Amino acid sequence: MPKTKIKEDALPDLTSLASWVRLNAKMEVDKEQENVLVCVEGTREAKARPLMKKLGYADIPRHLVSLQRRCGKTSLGKPNKGMMLFFPLSIGSGPESIGSGNIHVAGEDLQPGSYIQLTEDLELDTQDAQLDCLIVLLP
């Protein structure tokens, strides 16, 4: 799963989304994994739209966006159909971590501004840090 860097002009949108997720987004515990919080804000799609537009995904019919906070050991399953993209937004704790940090996943060091396409199930271990991430499902 080689990493890809986002376009330079999309970085401010990624940082803005990361800040909103870290400071304002309403999160609830995922029903399947207790170490995962999922954004349940009604405005989450609208908040992610500027970034999705810059990356060229906003106009793809039936694309889905999930904003999550992960802590400790979690897994992310590759979808049976379509494509899943994993974007780290912030890695760390507190507001100073917004748009920063790095995590080693699938043999790659990822930081905000880079992402991977899942080609297999992904095991994540953030240890004590919080990982805010954007997951995009494309048909």
Say which amino acid occupies 65. Answer: V
Q: Which domains does the chain have, with CATH numbers?
A: 3-138 (2.60.120.10)
Average pLDDT over residues 91-114: 81
Say which amino acid occupies 139. Answer: P
Mean pLDDT of the chain, nearest integer: 91
pLDDT digits (tens, 9 = 90+) for 52-93: 999 999 999 999 999 999 998 898 888 888 999 999 998 877
Q: How far is CA 5 from CA 9, 24, 111, in A?
A: 11, 26, 9
In angstroms, how far is CA 102 from the centroid of its own chain?
Answer: 13
Place of tokens 């912030």: 90
Q: Which two tokens stand for residue 34?
A: 């207790």
* Alpha helices, DSSP H, located in the chain: 11-23, 44-55
Query: How high is the pLDDT of residue 52?
Result: 96
First CA to last CA distance, the chain:
19
Quick check: 1 pLDDT over 70?
no
Average pLDDT over residues 19-36: 93
pTM over 0.85: yes
Percent of the chain with pLDDT over 70: 99
Query: How high is the pLDDT of residue 88?
Result: 94
Contact in structure between 13 and 58 (CB atoms under 8 Å):
no
Average pLDDT over residues 91-97: 75
Query: How high is the pLDDT of residue 63?
Result: 94
Supply angle C-alpha 102, 131, 89, rounded to 5: 70
d(CA 123, CA 46) in angstroms, rounded, equals 29
Contact in structure between 68 and 132 (CB atoms under 8 Å):
yes
Q: Which two tokens stand for residue 137?
A: 């499902």
